[in-house]
Structure 1
């Protein structure tokens, strides 16, 4: 291991707002600025010491364009001397932000770096970027290689269900469990320490995730029609929610943490990437997880808790089938099906939740992985400090 390491010394997030919910009043820059201010306040770090803000965002159009990371730190009142960049690795954008920030810290390019991201999907709808300019991001030179007319994540979820033999009942059961776990986590106050209360333009305050459907039942889920195939198993109930939210983490070295009186929460132990079938699109967390475990020299049984993004229910179900991880340790506080999936903010949100759970429950190792557009995935192993 390098003499320099990368440790997380602070991590916060907004509540996750449901589509057209209360957070829809908030501009993406302001949501991002809110978590940046809270991060500085909770850690006590002077923002002028931050060498870079690496911000994830998928739909970099309209209100989320012009390097939103830079706009966010300026709106937060941070010094003009602090730089920023904005990253797009699709749904894993802010998990990739953590990877970039950690790499910069370990290499010595950064002493302090902030990683995070945002997506306000109520204000910048999914697919909004496709409406700008002429042409398509998937010309025939690309699609002809794979014999398809285009790429669709929902269809990819159905392909996963078919390949791993997942039934509609299994998908619905998983979705119901996500809501139940998220509701239990909220009721037990397990998210309280990681959430930053957001003051809204209408004068109210939001401090709790909005997406959980407490009245969801197996019977109600069974009534929903498949979205992507008439005979499919994926419904709106088995899909991640369109959401609004932001999250941020502060990274530095153990030596810097000691020097500035900061408490290291977790070390970025291993960070890897993987690519897989771009048509199925959502299966890359499986090879990414194997790669992370192999590189770390750890068996899956050594990982105490997991965050596997619930883009669609077949993703964690197939991942579980291939990795042999303990289902009780995977998304124990619910996932994107219940809480929501604010694209560019999700990676940092999952990691914030993961760090707080590792601290609360004493897990030495935690692993996070996310499927991403194009058949990609990040996987990160954190070590408790």
Structure 2
């Protein structure tokens, strides 16, 4: 039985839709961070036993086990095994849960958890229409939530009594924090530049007045393009080892997962997964949000983060301190690992101990991880 520890954590910049990374296939984005996280650690590629990657829209260029295809395209040791998982937006976070669990079970000593999505090249949802039939049976117990994710976000906002001013203010905060983080170079250590791109493309110079002029996506709704996660391209990777193997290789353990959760939530609200997952993981850990140094809550929608903060009495000064998906982008299958990478680097920068990462996921799911520095 091994104790899983992180020894490397990198990501690409997040490219905006049709932006600087749109010319690259998902396999090119993913192979880049896989090669870089191995190179940074200074290990032989064949020492990696398994790679588990997240990807949501597994069709076309992202089909047929994109993690394996990315690895094979490196030309490195073909005996490294690869798996691709889909837990919707939580896919790459679950990839980390699984790699850590394999190490804890003694099944492997070295693994990489990663994730990728090229939303410019493989648009969200195209896999729903490429093939016959539908997943629903005649006795399927749930209707599709009206207006899907946007409808869920608006129902949550209505339940919480949020206003347009509330959501706009949060959208502005995300952009301001991300811009300040880049000005201070906070992301520099976690970025693996690719094809001359070394900065996230989604950060915008905006104002409250500019956000107020944006039209809601749904008639009568609150959320706009300025308070919703951006469609993006990117990849991220974390190199995991058993503590014993890391010590033998002379690599410094940086962090471990204290706890992990994947849970379902009420399909009517669709995006309440972070509230439920956080409740469950904090109960398991015997903690509250006051015991955590940092919290990363994926900014699928401003209302989702604000509802989560209210439910768990979280201090927003500790939440998404360098901005989130509203400003940085949300490449679906990448984001779970991206959030863990960013949380780890920020903990190290501040010399703090613990961080929570949680996400809402399609299918009314939620993911949560407690990351603790070692």
**How much does 1:377 deviate?**
0.8
Aligned to 1:57: 55
For the 8 Å contact 1:221–1:237, the answer to whether it is kept is yes
CA RMSD in angstroms, aligned pairs only: 1.2
Matches within 5 A, 1:286-297: 286-297=275-286
- Secondary structure (helix, strand or coil) at the match of 2:139 reads helix
**How much does 1:294 deviate?**
1.2
For the 8 Å contact 2:145–2:270, the answer to whether it is kept is no
For the 8 Å contact 2:272–2:364, the answer to whether it is kept is yes
Q: Does 1:212 align with 2:203?
A: yes
Matches within 5 A, 1:1-385: 4-138=2-136, 141-142=139-140, 145-146=141-142, 152-199=148-195, 205-214=196-205, 216-228=206-218, 230-385=219-374
Q: Deviations over 1:317-364 (max 9, x none)?
A: 000001111101000000000000000000011110001011111221
CA distance in 2, matches of 1:149, 1:110: 40
Using structure 2 for the length normalisation, give the TM-score. 0.98
Gaps of 5+ in 2: none
Cα distance change of structure 1 residues 139 and 173 upon mapping to structure 2, 3 Å threshold:
farther
Q: Deviations over 1:214-267 (max 9, x none)?
A: 1x1111111111112x11111111110000000000111111111111111111
Gaps of 5+ in 1: 200-204
CA distance in 1, matches of 2:298, 2:38: 27
CA distance in 2, matches of 1:133, 1:272: 32
- Secondary structure (helix, strand or coil) at the match of 1:193 reads helix
**How much does 1:74 deviate?**
1.4
For the 8 Å contact 2:145–2:268, the answer to whether it is kept is no
- Runs of 4+ in structure 1 displaced over 4 angstroms? 147-151
CA distance in 1, matches of 2:357, 2:261: 11
**Which range moved further: 73-82 or 182-191?**
73-82
**How much does 1:126 deviate?**
1.1
For the 8 Å contact 2:340–2:357, the answer to whether it is kept is yes
Using structure 1 for the length normalisation, give the TM-score. 0.95
